[in-house]
């Protein structure tokens, strides 16, 4: 146990721990609604756009969050439009945007510095990536996500379960959907630094699916998804430090382990 | 007058409904009948504001809320939602949390519809009849004044169908709830309704069932229904 605590005497670990503990539950909360409304692909698309945006920031020598936040937020609205428009084959359109964003990112990086460890960090995350200002921003933005989720919980349930009914009762479905997309964009940008752009979407999708294996009520799934996401992050972070494994990937594998475990428990019931 | 629909026209690529005019008074039980593809569901959706009107107006009396019961809801089999969560989602309030009184109201409505015992069950695990009662309870939470239903018995077995219709009639009589319902079942409609609205893109008949029987349009439609 002393070993476990001594890990956190490093300031970069403290920053990663704080940001992760805030971002992991936020990602899980947003994930419940995204997964149930079949918008999970948007999370995936956004993380790839985030990769492109971070590459750009790196090449320009600009602060990563200042460049990537607006770009990813814009992309969130674009992807939402694409996936609502069934005539355009939403899924295919998102795949195109994803691939293009990655291609742009790779080309920008190779033009500026050549492929380096930086691009590896962008793709698969780095525990060292968080700066002091990232932490401050993360705290505020995570607080915003949590607050929105608590304040609008009932409306989020209503539009997730039955959009038509919500509309007839005067709920502004479009506004709330855009709000969710906005928060998802923010969460992805924040989480991407630790998890990497290839792996961050799992933080959104895994907890919701895991919780759905054993819980049958929306509240149960929401609370358990947030909890299991937090636990997966903590366990993953500790294991990655202890055994010198890549942090993002380790966290994803812990999520996978919980998913399999809950699938078995759910199946036996 | 609770609802007034004036010269309502809705079109997709072609005209779906045209020039529909009728009114609903407090306590009415109006059944909307007509052939498949005659625009019944379109009319309901336009009345609720789910579809834009090309022409005409829909006016609802000030402060009147509408409780909407959709046709059989297609929800994926693993959607996590308990019956009680769904019923409570009908209560529309600006505050983020429900008051104790609001929770009790939802519970009371569930008792009335005899679904109190299944309130912790997952929606996807309910029988067709139970699921429709849950959606009806949700609509009643939204409004006890005015219910709009789009063929609520689709896919139900005969007993569940009879029970649901009887329940609607009871709510209509005892609470004075105005009901506007799309129905494929003309015989039941004649029995339940205080007014029949027969449409085929435009209004063919609007009035009391007794007059509908005698009308040419009623004769033709009910004669045809016998061969179903």
pLDDT digits (tens, 9 = 90+) for B93-141: 888 899 999 999 999 999 999 999 999 999 989 998 999 999 999 999 9
Are residues B118 and B54 located together in one domain of the fold? no
- What strand order describes the sheet that includes B178-182? B67-69, B146-150, B178-182, B29-33, B195-200, B202-207
Each domain of chain A, given as residue ranges in start order, spans 2-268
Contacts with B75 from chain A: Cβ below 8 Å: 161-162
Instruction: For chain B, say whether A161 makes contact (Cβ under 8 Å).
Output: yes
Using an 8 Å CB-CB cutoff, list chain B residues near A154: 88-89, 93, 96-98
Whether A72 contacts A223, CB under 8 Å: no
Tell whether B64 lies on the interface with A, counting CB pairs under 8 A. Answer: no
The residue of chain B nearest to residue A147, with distances taken between CA atoms, is: B96
Residue of A221, A215, A200, A230 whose CA lies nearest to A153: A221
Which residue of chain A comes nearest to B125, CA vs CA? A216
Residues B133 and B169 grouped into a single domain: no
Tell me the nearest-neighbour CA distance from B108 into chain A, angstroms.
20
What was the pLDDT predicted at A88? 60
In this predicted model, what pLDDT tens digit does every residue of A137-192 receive, in sequence order?
A: 888 888 888 899 899 999 999 999 999 999 999 899 999 999 999 999 999 988 88
Same domain for B221 and B117: no
pLDDT in tens, B16-36: 899 999 999 999 999 999 988
If one counts every other C-beta atom within 10 angstroms of the C-beta of residue A1, the result is 5
**A119-144: average pLDDT:** 81
Contact B80 A221 (CB under 8 A): yes
B58 with B85, same domain: the answer is: no
How many contacts, defined by CB atoms under 8 Å, are there between A and B?
72
Domain boundary among B114, B138, B162: B138
Q: Is the pLDDT of residue B228 over 50?
A: no
Last residue of a domain, one of B88, B107, B138: B138
Q: pLDDT band at residue B226, thresholds of 50, 70 and 90?
A: very low
Q: Does B99 touch chain A (CB under 8 A)?
A: no
**Is the pLDDT higher at A243 or at B225?**
A243
* B52-103 pLDDT per residue, tens: 999 999 999 988 999 999 887 777 778 999 999 999 999 988 888 999 999 9
What's the pLDDT at A117?
Answer: 59
Domain boundary among B138, B166, B187: B138
CB contact under 8 A, A219 and B75: no
* Res A3: pLDDT: 64
Instruction: Tell me, yes or no, whether B88 and B173 share the same domain.
Output: no
Q: Which CATH superfamily is domain A2-268 in?
A: ABC transporter involved in vitamin B12 uptake, BtuC (1.10.3470.10)
Task: Answer for the pair A104, A217: CB distance below 8 angstroms, yes or no.
Answer: no
Task: Looking at the complex, report in whole angstroms how far the Cα of residue B15 sits from the nearest Cα belonging to chain A.
Answer: 21
Domain containing residue B161: CATH number: 3.40.50.300
The pair of structure tokens assigned to A153 is 């919980």
Q: CA nearest B21: which of B65, B55, B71, B61?
A: B55
Same domain, B45 and B9: yes
Query: Hey, is the C-beta of A158 within 8 angstroms of any chain B C-beta?
Result: yes
- Phi, psi (rounded to 5 degrees) for A130: -80, 125
Q: What is the ipTM of this complex?
A: 0.89
Could you list the residue range(s) of the whole structural domain that residue B84 is in?
72-138
Whether B163 and B220 map to the same domain: the answer is yes
The number of distinct structural domains making up chain B is 2
């Amino acid at each position: 146990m002393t070993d476990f605590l001594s890990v956190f005497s490093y300031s970069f670990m403290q920053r990663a721990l704080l940001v992760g503990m805030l971002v992991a539950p936020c990602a899980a909360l947003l994930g419940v609604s995204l997964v149930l409304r079949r918008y999970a692909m948007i999370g995936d698309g956004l993380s790839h756009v985030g990769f492109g945006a971070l590459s750009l920031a790196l090449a320009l020598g600009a602060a990563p969050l200042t460049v990537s936040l607006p770009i990813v937020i814009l992309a969130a609205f674009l992807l939402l439009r694409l996936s609502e428009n069934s005539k355009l084959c939403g899924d295919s359109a998102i795949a195109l945007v994803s691939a293009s964003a990655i291609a742009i990112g790779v080309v920008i990086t190779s033009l500026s510095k050549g492929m380096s460890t930086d691009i590896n960090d962008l793709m698969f995350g780095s525990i060292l990536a968080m700066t002091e200002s990232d932490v401050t921003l993360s705290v505020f933005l995570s607080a915003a996500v949590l607050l929105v989720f608590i304040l609008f919980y009932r409306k989020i349930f209503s539009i997730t379960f039955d959009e038509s009914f919500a509309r007839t009762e005067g709920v502004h479905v479009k506004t709330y959907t855009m709000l969710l997309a906005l928060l998802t964009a923010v969460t992805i940008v924040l989480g991407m630094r630790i998890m990497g752009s290839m792996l961050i979407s799992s933080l959104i999708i895994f907890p919701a699916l895991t919780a759905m294996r054993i819980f049958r009520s929306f509240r149960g799934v929401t609370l358990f998804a947030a909890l299991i996401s937090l636990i997966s992050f903590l366990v993953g972070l500790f294991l990655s430090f202890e055994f010198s494994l890549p942090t993002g990937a380790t966290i994803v594998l812990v999520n996978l382990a919980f998913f399999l475990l809950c699938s078995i428990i759910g199946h036996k019931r | 007058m609770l609802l007034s629909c004036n010269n309502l026209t809705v079109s997709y690529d072609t005209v779906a409904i045209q020039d529909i005019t009728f009114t609903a008074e407090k306590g009415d039980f109006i059944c909307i009948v007509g052939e498949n593809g005659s625009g019944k569901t379109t009319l309901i959706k336009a009345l609720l504001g789910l579809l834009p009107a090309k022409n005409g107006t829909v006016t609802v009396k000030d402060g009147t809320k509408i409780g909407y019961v959709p046709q059989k809801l297609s929800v994926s089999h693993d959607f996590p939602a308990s019956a009680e969560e769904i019923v409570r989602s009908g209560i529309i309030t600006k505050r983020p949390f429900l008051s104790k009184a609001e929770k009790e109201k939802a519970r009371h409505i569930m008792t009335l519809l005899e679904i109190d015992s299944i309130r912790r069950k997952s929606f996807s695990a309910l029988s067709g009849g139970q699921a429709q009662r849950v959606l009806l309870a949700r609509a009643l939470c939204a409004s006890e004044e005015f219910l709009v239903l789009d063929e609520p018995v689709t896919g139900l077995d005969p007993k569940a169908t009879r029970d649901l219709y009887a329940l609607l009639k009871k709510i209509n009589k005892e609470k004075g709830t105005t009901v506007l319902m799309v129905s494929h079942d003309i015989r039941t409609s004649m029995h339940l309704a205080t007014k029949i609205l027969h449409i085929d893109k435009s209004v063919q008949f609007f009035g009391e069932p007794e007059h509908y029987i005698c009308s040419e349009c009623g004769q033709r439609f009910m004669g045809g229904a016998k061969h179903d």
